Structures are given as structure tokens and as C-alpha cells.
Structure 1
Amino acid sequence: MTRPADWSLELQLEQVEERAVDPDVKAAIADAIRYLHSGRSQKRRGGRELVRLLEIARLRASEESEWHVVRQVQDSLDYLDGSLLRPDFEEYYRIHQDGPRNELNRDYVAHTFAAAYHFLEWHYRKILENRRTATVDEVLQQLIDLSNDGRFVDAPAERPGRYRIVRGRAEMALWLERVLRYRIEVEDPTGDSRRIVSSADALAVLADDEDGLALLRAAELKRQAESLAEIRRIAEDPDATEHAMQTKLEEQPWIFGGRFVGADARRRLVSGDEIDIPLIRADGSLHVVELKRSRGASIVKRHRNAWVPTAEVHDAVSQVVNYLVGLDEHRQRIYEEFGIETRRASGLVLIGYPAGDTDAAEEDVNEALRLFNAHLSRIEVMTYKDLLDNADRALGWT
């Protein structure tokens, strides 16, 4: 979203027009200024049309090699989209100031810097008074937490002239931001979340309180992030076993977007086969996950000037095809015995972690698998890194 055009932008564009040399460049900048002045009741016009006109002016300046104008018009565009802040913009172009530097801004920065360090010194002493054995890392973490919570300072109406920092608000705000941005819903917080409460009464209080429920969900989000970090560590470890990876992934079914089928059912879905990770997705369909090696797996090879999946990948896909064929053949029995519909079953092969195990760049591996997957019907091949990166994005960590 662009910033509304204002007087500072108008003055800066007039400076840029004066510094331009070529008539076509001057005319393009003049068009932008003319549009800026065309608003009703002497209001300045901005929006997409002004951005378009400035981009034309930038292009004209580049065609005439007036690179100083290109940079200044780019500053205008950066100011409009908010990436260049008003104090810097006005000081760069000495707008509304007589001297070489804005003394008000300088004094403001100096006083803020001094006050911040005075506050940190006071808080540091308070920490040591309460915990004389606190380590440097512990003190530093408390100061970091305080800094994060400080962004949400409030001013109590009952205490004029005083301000308050409520500890823990930063984590709650981060949770809320990620929920709103990524539509994450945690329906059954477990593990660390449940350990927050110590009695039925405490649970009732938290469940009835909006902030309490937010804390439960925030704790669950943090637990998921920590689990992802552990899974990534295993995936990057060349000595880790498939069993270690399977154990950790089974604890986090949300990564695949489903819930696990019980271990007993897993062994009996298809006679003679034990599926690594069978899941029931939200639409009720069965999803089969086949785990292969993370590090050391051969994913792609060079063939006729292109990267293509290796025999190891094809073998894994064939294995999942056999699973799906068995599920189709025993569809009626599986439905009667377990209540699972296998007609729309799909499969995922997890294999490899592009990190030096192949001469191909990560982008080449992903492109080769994307083309390969485009020709598959009910099966997808994915690297562990791609899976974990997707999960990180779902939590908002990357």
C-alpha cells in the first residue's frame, strides 16, 4: 500500500526536476508533478498512477544515463511505498531545514539513546538484586524479552503520567500475527501447553479467559517450532537413521495436514506391507507417506543436459504405487474393518536433503522433482528440506 503524496514528496520532486538535464527526463518528472497537483480542492494525488508516472521518469533517466536522477526518483518511489521513512527522506533532501543536518532529529536520537541505556542499566541492576547467581546469558535473555514486550507499552488511565510494560505480550502478539497471516488453528493443544496448568480449576480459568486461551495456543506454536528444529537437525545428520526420523515425524502429524492411523491398523491395512506413516486428512482421504534416506540419498542425475530423478527415486515411487494398488484391491475390507475410505488415497515419497549430496543446485533438484511430479497422478516426491521449509512458513518462522 502506497503512502499518500505529501508536501515533502512535492518539494523533493521539484528538486529532482531541477537537477535533470535532458528535456525528455525533465518532461517525465514534470508529468508526475502535474499529476500530483491535479487533485480536487488543492489536494495532492498519489496512488498507482503517480507510481506509474515516476517509473516512466526513472526509465527516461536511465535511457539518458542520468543515474543521479534514477537514484533520486527511486527514493521518491521508496518514500511512497514506505521503505524510505520520512525523517531520512526529508534529511537526505534537506526539506524543511536550513542547516546540513536536522538538529531536532539529532537531539531526539541522542536523548532516546541515553534514556534507553539508563533504563537498561537500572533493569540490569534489578535482575541482579533478585537473582545474584544469574548468568550473563540469562540476564541478556531477560533484557531481550523486556525489549520485545516494550513494543506493547500501555498507559493506564488510572495512573496519569505512568506507563506499563506487561510481560509476555510480545509472544501473544507474535502468535496472533501468525494466526491472522497464515490461518493457523490449533484445535487440541498438547504437551507443553497442557503442562502450563496444574489443576482442573486452573484449566477452567484459562479456558474461560481469552488471554489464557491465547497463551495455551502460543505455547503450542512454540512447541511445534522447537519440534521442527529437532526434525531438521535429524534430517541434516548424515548418521541419522530412518527410524529416528520416523519417530519424530509421527509426533508432528500437522506437518502433513492430517492425523495418524493407529499402529495396529498400519500393519494390517495392506497384507504383507507396513506403511511408514499412514494419515487421515481433513477430507477423510488416506495419505501414505514413505520415508527414505535424508542425507546420502541420490535424488537426481545428469541426463542429456538435464537433471532427472535417479533410479532410487523411481524405486521409492514404485513402492508407493504398490501400496496404492493394495489399498484399492482391499478397499471394501479396509472400510469395513477400520472405517477408512481408500478410494481417494494418495502418496508422498520423502527422500533426500539437498546439502552437498549432489552436484545439482537446490533449485535444479526442486525443478527436476516438480517436472517429475507433474507427470504423476496420486503420488508426490518431495525432499525433507522442502517439507520442513513449508512447515516453517506455515508457522511464520521464515
Structure 2
Amino acid sequence: MLDLIRFAIRQAETGNDLESAARLDDALGYATGRVLNPELENKYQLLDGAMSRNFTMFELVMSNVHLAISSIFDEFLEEHPQAGVAEAREYFRRLARASIQVVEDREAGIYRVRRLDEEASIWLADTLLRRSSYGPLTASNRLADDLPPESRAILTRADAESVLAGMQLQIRRRKLAEIRRVVEHPYSSERQIQKAITGAWWLFGGEYVGQSLRRRLTRGLELDIPLLRPDGVLHVVELKRAAVRVIQSHRTATIPTEEVHKGVVQAQNYLKLLDENRDKILGHGVDTRRATAVLVIGHPAFQDKFSEVQVNETLRVYNSHLSRIEVITYKQLLDAAKRVLDLTDPSASDLA
């Protein structure tokens, strides 16, 4: 294999295909230990690589910013029970100045050793202060042409609420694009798809308030994604591979494939276990008596003989005979999420 890679490099160089030669040289370097895995992840932004981890970190920080502020405020009040609004405001200003000072010092070539728990605040300050653009966009702003129209419409508004809503919208759009990239990759495994979707509970609609922190609710059962409704009732999400067939011909009609039937039976067994262990699971604040499930499997792009319309129609008929379980494709899931994001776009509502 190494000899073949070296031969391919020589052929690419002979044909003046320097880009292919460079990529093959990186492959040879990785195989021989000259190039390390983090270098490849950073250079090529591989699936499950550095870009995905960095973006996930930023999304988690932005999604929990209000919770973090609330926690800091509670700690401040515990230490200063008699403090008023002015003292609390000054406390937060000192925290902000400390993080910003570290960023400015680094730009000036001054580095300080900080505790591990301070690094997240410093990284966030650096990202928001130096690597993000806010405020009105003008003709002289060189970033304006690089932003999509919806971002320009959001950032030109003065109120902070619209800016934060726009930031969340753009984060979710990027997350949706990343999930779509993983789903539509023909060699993505269930684990990779689950990793991409975990935390993005908003994909499944506004009737859910979040994702349960516990995936193992009872012995012998570990759920892919456990969602919660406002009343605490559980909704089970079972994820299968996208690159599988979901319908097949049967006489003069189309029916779901064996993979779909197996997934539905698996979901049925999950619901049965949840029903039988309802009293124990209630101790975790989760109600499973009226639990439901959705099986996400397949994608029309991987159906060689049937169109998207045929796939959707077959699953619609199939679902009409199920009670607590629904079967959808990844394309149905992602398209629905995109429509929701389009409807909640602040710039679109302004135009309306």
C-alpha cells in the first residue's frame, strides 16, 4: 500500500496535479507516523474532527449562557446577601474586564498562567470580542459582503434581543448543515449520526423542552436520544443508519423493508420496558406511562428504485397503522427543522 501511494504521488507530480500530490503525501505521512491525527483533522476538517468539536463547544456555551449567568449571580448573592443592583452590575463588569484584559494582553505578547476554570471565560471573551462582528453594518465594513442577507438584516438592528435571536438562529443553521453533511455521507455509522444529532433536540419540533441527561433509565435499556415534553413525559428517538433502503416492492404496492420492521420492534421493546419500570423511572423526574417513540431511518438519496414521494407515501400509510411509534426518514426530519428555522427567522418576520 505504501509503495502504491508513493507511485501515485510521483504520477500526480508528473501530471502537475500538485493538490492531489499534497493530499497523497499527507496520507503517506499519516501511515508512516510522520503526520499525526490532530493535524489531519485540523487541515481537512474530517468527520467528527476538530471543526465539529470547536463548533459544538461554542454552541454549548451560547445555549447555556443564561444558565451560566444565573449560576454566577446566585453565587454572588450567597457571598453578598445585602448587595443591590449597582453592586451586582459592577461585579459582572469586573468579570468582563478580567477576561478582556487577558485577551488584550495576549495580543500584546503578554501571557499569564490561568486556572483551568478561567480558560473557558477567556476563550469566550476572545471569540466574542475579537472573532465575532456585531453592531450596524456599513458600506465600509469589509465583512458585510461575506455575510448572508439574513445576518446583515439581523445585525443592522439595534436591540440586543434580536441580535441574540439571530445568533442562535445562525448557530442552529450551521448545526443543521453539519448534521445534513453527516447524514448524507454514505459511510456514516449510527454512532456518528447519533453524535451529530445529540444536543440538537430542537430538530424534533417545539413540543419538546429539552433532552434528558439520563440515557440509561433502566437496566438493559440505553436510549439514543431521550426527549422530554413540558409535562415530563418521555419521547424516545431511535436512530438507525441513513444509507439503508426503507421501502421495497411487494406485488403491486410498496412496503417497508426488514430494516424498518426491526427498528419498529426495537422501539416497541423499549416502550414495553419503560412501561414495566415506570415507578422506578419516576424517581428521575421522567414519566414513561404515555411515552412515545420515533424511528429515524434511511434517506431517499439512498433509494435506488423509488422516488422521495413514494418513500414518504409508503411510510405515511405504514404510520397510520401504528399508535405510539412513528417512522420518518432523515430527510423528513431535516427538512422539517429547516422549515421551522425559516419561520423563526427574525429578518423574515420583519419582511412580513
Distance 1:143 1:280 in 2: 41
Residue type of the alignment partner of 2:240: K
Aligned-partner SS, 2:292: strand
Equivalent residues of 2:169, 2:341 under 8 A apart: yes
Matched residue, 1:290 = 238
Q: Does 1:278 align with 2:226?
A: yes
For the structure 1 residues 356 and 293, does the alpha-carbon distance in structure 2 shift closer, same or farther, using more than 3 Å as the test?
closer
Q: Deviation at 1:276?
A: 0.9
Q: Deviation at 1:144?
A: 6.5
Residue type of the alignment partner of 2:232: G
Equivalent residues of 2:246, 2:297 under 8 A apart: yes
Question: Which of 215, 223, 241 is equivalent to 1:266?
Answer: 215
For the structure 1 residues 172 and 344, does the alpha-carbon distance in structure 2 shift closer, same or farther, using more than 3 Å as the test?
farther
Question: What are the ranges of 5 or more consecutive residues in structure 1 without an aligned counterpart?
Answer: 1-122, 128-138, 150-167, 177-209
Question: Which of 338, 343, 365 is equivalent to 2:289?
Answer: 343
For the structure 1 residues 342 and 311, does the alpha-carbon distance in structure 2 shift closer, same or farther, using more than 3 Å as the test?
same
Q: Deviation at 1:289?
A: 0.6
Equivalent residues of 2:245, 2:298 under 8 A apart: yes
1:1-36 per-residue CA deviation (whole Å, 9 max, x = no partner) reads xxxxxxxxxxxxxxxxxxxxxxxxxxxxxxxxxxxx
Distance 2:147 2:297 in 1: 39
Q: Does 1:300 align with 2:247?
A: yes
Aligned-partner SS, 1:360: coil
Question: Which of 267, 270, 278 is equivalent to 1:331?
Answer: 278
Equivalent residues of 1:270, 1:323 under 8 A apart: no
Q: Does 1:240 align with 2:240?
A: no
Matched residue, 2:331 = 385
Matched residue, 2:267 = 320
Distance 1:255 1:245 in 2: 13
Equivalent residues of 1:278, 1:288 under 8 A apart: yes
1:47-75 per-residue CA deviation (whole Å, 9 max, x = no partner) reads xxxxxxxxxxxxxxxxxxxxxxxxxxxxx
1:66-108 per-residue CA deviation (whole Å, 9 max, x = no partner) reads xxxxxxxxxxxxxxxxxxxxxxxxxxxxxxxxxxxxxxxxxxx
Residue type of the alignment partner of 1:261: S
Equivalent residues of 1:298, 1:352 under 8 A apart: yes
Q: Deviation at 1:255?
A: 1.1
Question: Which of 157, 162, 179 is equivalent to 1:214?
Answer: 162
Distance 1:143 1:254 in 2: 30
Distance 1:329 1:172 in 2: 52
Give aligned pairs, total.
Answer: 204
Aligned-partner SS, 1:279: strand
Q: Deviation at 1:285?
A: 1.4
Distance 2:323 2:147 in 1: 49
Question: Which of 171, 183, 208 is equivalent to 2:154?
Answer: 171
Equivalent residues of 1:300, 1:358 under 8 A apart: no
Matched residue, 1:186 = none
For the structure 1 residues 358 and 284, does the alpha-carbon distance in structure 2 shift closer, same or farther, using more than 3 Å as the test?
farther
Runs of 4+ in 1 over 6 A off after TM superposition: none
Matched residue, 2:52 = none
Question: Which of 339, 342, 347 is equivalent to 1:396?
Answer: 342
Q: Deviation at 1:213?
A: 1.6
Give the % identical residues. 43
Q: Deviation at 1:351?
A: 0.3
Matched residue, 2:305 = 359
1:316-338 per-residue CA deviation (whole Å, 9 max, x = no partner) reads 00000000000111111111x21
Equivalent residues of 2:176, 2:334 under 8 A apart: yes
1:276-330 per-residue CA deviation (whole Å, 9 max, x = no partner) reads 11111233210001110111x1200001111110111011000000000001111
Equivalent residues of 2:228, 2:235 under 8 A apart: yes
Determine which structure has more spread, i.e. the larger CA radius of gyration.
Answer: 1
Distance 2:308 2:175 in 1: 24
1:71-82 mapped onto 2 (5 Å cutoff)? none
Higher RCO by CA contacts (8 Å cutoff, separation 6 or greater): 2
Q: Does 1:142 align with 2:125?
A: no
Residue type of the alignment partner of 2:336: N
Equivalent residues of 2:154, 2:162 under 8 A apart: no
Distance 2:257 2:232 in 1: 33
For the structure 1 residues 145 and 388, does the alpha-carbon distance in structure 2 shift closer, same or farther, using more than 3 Å as the test?
closer
1:190-209 mapped onto 2 (5 Å cutoff)? none
1:349-391 per-residue CA deviation (whole Å, 9 max, x = no partner) reads 0100111433111000000000000000000000000000000
Matched residue, 1:36 = none
Residue type of the alignment partner of 1:311: E
For the structure 1 residues 284 and 313, does the alpha-carbon distance in structure 2 shift closer, same or farther, using more than 3 Å as the test?
same
1:176-205 per-residue CA deviation (whole Å, 9 max, x = no partner) reads 9xxxxxxxxxxxxxxxxxxxxxxxxxxxxx
Distance 2:146 2:211 in 1: 38
Equivalent residues of 1:289, 1:349 under 8 A apart: yes
Aligned-partner SS, 1:266: coil
